Every structure is written in structure tokens, then in C-alpha cells.
Structure 1
Amino acid sequence: MWGDMLERHELETFLTLAEELHFGRTAQRLHVTTSRVSHVVKKLERRIGALLFERTSRRVRLTPIGQRLADDLTPLVDGIEEALRRATDAGRGVSGELTVAFLGEWGAPVVSAAANVFLRRHPDCAVRVVEVQLSTSRSSLVDGSVDLLLASYPFDGMAHGPVLLTGRRLLAVAAHHPLARRKAVSLETLGDHPMVQYPAVTSAAFKRDRTPDRTPSGRPVPRGPEGTTFSEMLSLVALGQGVLPVGEETRRYHPRPDLVYVPIEDAPPIERGFVWSESRATARVREFVRGATEAVLGGSGE
């Protein structure tokens, strides 16, 4: 399968050691002895005619040739494994029911487009589309009531697909706020005003990205009140109790006369895509993410 040059166990041993850089951990992962790992690596080095690892009593590291081999082989092996997964899924068929959730009105069109592609390919599988709130987004994935969620990255503790949407960051401020008259603000501005907080159950990585504790220069960002839903958080902003960084789609889906959305000129874009629990990465989940990628980023969709 792997060709005459490398056998599968040699590839697996080499790539695992390239990742772990430790013979003991590599042996544990592969359920073999450390001497077996050493034997395979030495045999592979003799075949290639060059050292792939530098070994000392303190550490193991890749040689330049070893690093290049690892960089070249990894995507090839990943591609073969993905092809095998797809063939296996096709052989078994994709059926049953898939529950896909979105968080906020902006996500509904993306979920619908992805579902249409998925259902054309897999008519024996039903798709149920639901909306979740900030307070239930994570718990729904953990308890299995939702298979997939269209969300903002990062979303810690979950597997994720490719970035499907990107957008500018804006700062939501009250219409009477001094910043409402500005054409743009910087991230440093966040250190001068209380920031409305997401619910405690929200992804910690997401909160660090969207509502950071410090500005780029290290100044602390004052904490404002915590909301339970996104609409409630915007209402806290409108009442003058804090500001809130949001995505540019908020201006379209939440236009309010008591709010102004000011561009944050030096902030990186917000990235969004599907997340799911790795323990529930079924064929249905993988096929839906593939369909979503083609529906949003391009492809035949057939």
C-alpha cells in the first residue's frame, strides 16, 4: 500500500517519533518496545543513506533531512487516510439524523446552504437545524444534543473544520458614547472603557480572543457586566455600561438606534466555521463539513 520504498510500520514509526521526539513515548503510542522503534529508525536511515534524527542522552531532534522528510510525508499520509475514510463511509452509507446548530442569525444561511449540498449527496440522512444560545452552545455539543455548531474560532476543546467566513471586528458602543463619533478605534482603546462580558460558560479561548483582558501594550481592560445572551449584551452596551467587540455582521443583523458600530482598525479578522466534539466525529459529521466547505468556499457540491 505504501509502495516499495517505505512500509507502513516504517512510516508510522518515523512520523510518530518526528512528532514526539522521544523514543519512550513513541513506543507507548505504537504499543511496541523502544528497541523496536530504534531498530526501525536505524533501518530506515540505512535505506535513505542519511541520519534522520540526532540523538543524545538528553534529547532527540530531527536533522534537516529528517525534517524535510517529515514535512513531505505528513500531507501524503493524511491524504491517504482521508481517502480511506471517505471510501469506508461511502461503503457503509450515510444515514440516520444529523443535528446542526447555529449561533445567531448570521449563521442560518450558511447552515442552510451546507444542508442542501449534504442532502443532495445523502438523501437517506435527515438534517435537523436548530438555534442555540451562548449559554447552551458548549453544553449542546458535550451532551450530544447537537452534532455540529457553526461558531466563531477559537472554540477550545472541540475539533473544527476549515475557516468558512471571515469578517472585520467592530466595537459596539452606545449612541451617546464619546467613541460613537469616531471613524475608527484601535485595540488600545479597549483599556479605557469597561467591556461587557460573555457568559461564564462560553468558550474560554473565544473570550480571550473577543474580549481580551489586556490591550496589545499590556494595559488591563476594565471588566463590565456579564450578559446571558448576545441581545442582552448589546442592551448593556446601549445602556452605557460598557463596550463590546463584535463581528461586522452585527451591524446588519442587529441595527439599533441606540447603538453605533465603530471599526477596530488594527484588529485581526474574526474567523468562523463548524466545530464538533472529536468523540462524535462520525461519517455524517465529516460529510456535512465537506459539503459546507464546498457550498461556502466553492466546488461542485455534487
Structure 2
Amino acid sequence: MVDVELRELRLFLVLAEELHFGRTAERLGLTTSRTSQSLRALERKLGGRPLFDRTSRVVTLTAAGRALHDELAPVVTGLDNTLARAQTRATGPGLIRLGVLNAASGTLVLNKAVTLFEAQYEGASVRLIATPLNDRLGPLRRREVDLLVTRLPLDQPDIAIGPLLSQDEPRVLMVATDHLLAGRRDVSVEDFADYPVRRPSDVPELAEVSCPTHTPSGRPIVPFDLQVNDISELLLLIAQGRLIHPTVAPFAEHFRHPGIAIVPVRDLPPSSTALAWLKGQEHPARDTFVATVEQVLVRPT
């Protein structure tokens, strides 16, 4: 019988997902050297064949590594599901980590659901975790959060979409108060082509709805050429007149800034938000919280 530890198998699966020793080490709370040592130990225990091809820049699975991954991943997922169910039966739902980019949409539903969830189940709690502006799905895929509040549309094969938290939220444009568009009653997507625009790139289907690549007449909409790292930086750049920012009314109102005007966009569809989670993983506590959200939606008062 091969004497392999579960932590070694988990490390292998994370590395197969990340294909990067540094990111794998960060996710697991290890040093990069410790990650390499653990992988070498696993390879020795399994007969010495390499599971990864490693160069200074690229990490890829070997044929043996791919075969192990395909057989091992569902086994470890099944074990995790069994342990999660056992823990829920013993201690209640426990902690739910809920990822939010901002608190602009769905707040009323979420606040009621959190209050009800924590009141109904002993030991249950919800922790809100801010997600990055440029990597909105990353925390979910890295399992840093259990649920994510996301704008729609979202069409990703590994992500399930749950109950709607908000619907029919109008689109607006955030511009500097002295901008040429600031005094308009409303604007069109056609106006976007005349100015640098922050266009999110991490979720293409969402980006195309919130800020298309071309105007209705076919003119290209040129994206702002620098990365914007957080919301505070975004607001400063808008107020300075360096870019314009298509968004939704709740976001603009929540982050209202004295140097920024909010102008309705007349030809973009309204927006909705929903809960999302990774497919293929049982998570009783997550499912219990989702059911609580659905309960609030059925009985909003």
C-alpha cells in the first residue's frame, strides 16, 4: 500500500490547477521550496515518474500527472463533500465567506438573509470579503470565497448562477463634473468612442454588455490604457477627467464623489445581480445560505 498523505494529494491538485509553484504555495500557506519538496516526495512515493514538466517559466502536467489528476480529483472532491456533510451535521452550517466587489447592489436582500441565517442556525456566520476590481472571479475559483455576488450576464462553464439579488438597475456614466458630457440629460454608447473608457476585461460577456467594443455605428471604443487597481483609484481618475466610466446607478450612488457627475445612458440594457458559486462541489453550508436567500426573496418583508 502506498503511504501517501492527503495534504500531498491536495497540493498536487492545487498545483495542477495553478500550474505555478508560487501561487500554489500562497494558496496553501507554504513556501515555494516546501511546495517543491512535497511534490518530489509524492513523485517518489508513486514510483519516481515526474508528474509535472518544469522549466524556469512554464509548469505543465506530464501524461502521468494528467492521468493521476483525472482519477484523483473526483475522489478528493467526494471526500471533501463527505467531510463537509459530517461537519454540518455535527456543528451546523458554520462560516460562509461571501465575496462582494462592492455593497452597491443586493444589499437589502443580503442583509436580511444574513440576519435570518445567523438567527436560524447555531454557530452560523457570514463574512463579507472584498473581491479585486480586476479579478472578480479569481477568489471564487481559488476557493477563497464560497459564494460571490456578481453582475449578469455571466456565462462560465465552471460557475453556477443562483437567485437574483437585484434586477432592472439602470445604466449610467460617471464623468468629471467639468466634463463635456456632465451637463447632458443623458448620453448614448455612441458618445463613448470620443473618450478613454475603463472596460473590464476579466469577464468578456459582462464587459460587452456594460461597455461594448464598438458603438452602434461601428466606431471603436478605445479602452483606458492603464490598469486601475481599486475603486478609490478609479474614482480619482474619473474626477480628474482622465477616463469615463459606464456602470450602474447603485454603484454610482454608493460611491458618489464631489468631483463626479452621474449621467443616464439611454441605450444600454438594465443590469441584474445574482449569487454565484463553483459547480461540482457539494457545500451544505453554502446551499443552506442560498436557500435562506431564496426564503427572503419569497417573503421580502
TM-score in terms of structure 2 length: 0.62
- Cα separation, 2, equivalents of 1:218 and 1:280: 43
1:129-278 paired onto structure 2 within 5 Å: 129-157=128-156, 158-166=159-167, 167-198=169-200, 200=201, 202-225=202-225, 226-278=227-279
- Cα separation, 2, equivalents of 1:237 and 1:139: 26
- Cα separation, 2, equivalents of 1:259 and 1:110: 28
* Structure 2 alignment gaps of length 5 or more: 1-84
Q: 1:109 to 1:132 in 2, by over 3 A?
A: farther
Is the CA contact (8 Å cut-off) linking 1:155 and 1:275 kept in structure 2?
A: no
Determine which of 102, 105, 110 is the counterpart of 2:103.
105
- Cα separation, 2, equivalents of 1:209 and 1:144: 27
Q: 1:99 to 1:265 in 2, by over 3 A?
A: same
- Cα separation, 2, equivalents of 1:281 and 1:191: 45
State the 1:156 CA deviation. Answer: 4.0
- Cα separation, 1, equivalents of 2:110 and 2:280: 22
The amino acid that maps onto 1:175 is: T
In the alignment of these two chains, the number of paired residues is: 209
Q: 1:127 to 1:189 in 2, by over 3 A?
A: same
- Cα separation, 1, equivalents of 2:258 and 2:127: 35
- Cα separation, 1, equivalents of 2:229 and 2:194: 24
Q: 1:300 to 1:185 in 2, by over 3 A?
A: closer
State the 1:288 CA deviation. Answer: 1.5
Over aligned residue pairs, what C-alpha RMSD do you find? 2.5
TM-score in terms of structure 1 length: 0.62
Structure whose CA Rg is larger: 1
- Cα separation, 2, equivalents of 1:292 and 1:143: 24
- Cα separation, 1, equivalents of 2:276 and 2:188: 30
Is the CA contact (8 Å cut-off) linking 1:187 and 1:216 kept in structure 2?
A: yes
- Cα separation, 2, equivalents of 1:273 and 1:209: 16
State the 1:264 CA deviation. Answer: 0.6
Q: 1:197 to 1:227 in 2, by over 3 A?
A: farther
- Cα separation, 2, equivalents of 1:110 and 1:103: 16
State the 1:109 CA deviation. Answer: 4.8
Deviation per residue, 1:130-151 (Å, 9 max, x gap):
2222245322111111000112
Q: 1:197 to 1:228 in 2, by over 3 A?
A: farther
The amino acid that maps onto 1:148 is: L
Q: 1:181 to 1:160 in 2, by over 3 A?
A: same
1:71-86 paired onto structure 2 within 5 Å: none
Q: 1:282 to 1:217 in 2, by over 3 A?
A: farther
Is the CA contact (8 Å cut-off) linking 2:95 and 2:124 kept in structure 1?
A: yes
- Cα separation, 1, equivalents of 2:199 and 2:165: 26
SS state at 1:115 partner: helix
Is the CA contact (8 Å cut-off) linking 1:152 and 1:206 kept in structure 2?
A: yes
Is the CA contact (8 Å cut-off) linking 1:153 and 1:270 kept in structure 2?
A: yes
Deviation per residue, 1:186-236 (Å, 9 max, x gap):
2222223221233x5x32222222222112333211222331123322222
- Cα separation, 1, equivalents of 2:220 and 2:152: 23
Whether 1:299 aligns to 2:299 is yes
